Chains A and B, each alone.
Chain A
């Protein structure tokens, strides 16, 4: 079965400094991986996705993630944090299509951006 581990429950950065949110996954086959962002009392917004094409994936709002099969990692990065990036981020792996394309969520990482 697929699983996702987000290594930090909370990350705090200063505005203008780099962001790194760490994610490791476990999958018995070639997975689809996603990062979603959720602002307070809002739905989830898809930031980016990896679906077996380029290993470096660029998303919205300047975020990107690199798929590293050897390390089973899919860390999310951004060169310069903005106050509006403060939110909760979920790393997600997609289960196999024959199981209904279910999403397996990590526990989430809350990103705090200090001014």
Chain B
């Protein structure tokens, strides 16, 4: 089945220790998104890739970076995680028009000690 896969599902890191979250998709969608979702809140868009074009949200901290080496994979790098970065991180994909909606992966729960 076509899907969005996130690894790992649970990630524990230490304060200030860099961490990378992974997302892959078999839908062949050309747009990929990263969201941060804190407890009891709606997801918040961090950035998205339209093919290889990177689009950062204005309020996304510099601590968050992303890479998309090919159509299928996208990575979220947190350079120096703080306690406030503990959250669920969701990857999503869509076709370029976005009319059909976005398809979400299961998420990675990040804990910062």
B-contacting residues of A (Cβ < 8 Å)?
A: 32, 34, 36, 41-46, 49, 51, 90, 94, 97, 100-103, 105-108
Contacts and interface: CB of A to CB of B under 8 A. Distances in A.
Which size bracket describes the interface of B in this complex? Answer: 20 to 34
B103 interface: yes
A106 to B, nearest CB: 7
Contacts of A51: 99-100
Contacts of B97: 97, 101
Nearest to A35: B101
Task: Identify the interface centre among A32, A43, A46: most chain B CB within 10 Å of its CB.
Answer: A43
Contact of A43 (B40, B42, B99, B106): B106
Interface string B82-113: 00000010101010111111111111010000
A101 B104 CA distance: 14
18 contacts: A34-B101, A41-B107, A41-B109, A42-B107, A43-B106, A43-B107, A44-B92, A45-B104, A46-B102, A46-B104, A51-B100, A100-B31, A100-B50, A101-B31, A101-B97, A103-B43, A105-B43, A107-B41
A90 B44 CA distance: 13
